[in-house]
Amino acid sequence: MTKLSVNINKVATIRNARGGNIPNIVRFAQDCESFGAQGITVHPRPDERHIRYRDVFDLRPVIRTEFNIEGNPTPEFIDLVMKVRPEQVTLVPDAPDAITSNAGWDTRKHLKFLSEIIERFQQVGIRTSIFVDPTEEMITYAAKTGTDRIELYTEPYALNFPKDPEGAVRDFREAAVLAHKLGMGINAGHDLSLENLKFFHEQVPHLEEVSIGHALISDALYLGIQETIRRYKECLK
């Protein structure tokens, strides 16, 4: 079964809107785990507009499943990851002012840069994943970095799914087959939802993990977080 990692950034956004500690990020992460989530994802950004660096340190001792930290590998981010030692780090090429992730790495252009960072994380036992677009060139050069996994950037799939599900998923299926052939594990994330996740999971082979935040937290406003996690996991059976 493909694992579900819940991205809790949006919960931190709600908290930060009023200050204080409501909702409590640590408690929310623990509840997600108790309701069946198989991982917790955070994506701290330099301006700390949602998840703060302090949150990452607070979460580390209480997470019992898998802790996945996403982000652009700036010196500050690398230092955070080395101190916290999550089970997985996902490298994302975000600009500091990006509202959300909007593209994968150019793994050919940044081959040396990524290879050096990945080696550093792997030396201390942290599994690495690179955020990539589903193209043959980017997948091939991702493998050259030595990364353990890739995370397929799925916004194009989500945008095209309503009008052409098969066309929307085709590149992702081929990318997963190639990545698996090259020895990498496959994760996926960005705009996956209850509407499009089941089909994606059925069509994309070797999928080990999905990281979902915005849609999942939005659904939880109507369904409650326990029922929402149950429904997302049903899509992954």
- Which residues form the catalytic set? 43, 70, 190
Q: Residue 177, Cβ neighbours under 10 Å: how many?
A: 15
Which residues lie closer than 8 Å to 227 by C-beta, 6 or more apart?
Answer: none
Nearest to 129 by CA among 208, 48, 47, 229: 208
Amino acid symbol at 113: F
CA distances from 21 to 14, 104, 191 (A): 10, 33, 27
CA distances for 104 relative to 36, 52, 64, 173, angstroms: 29, 23, 29, 17
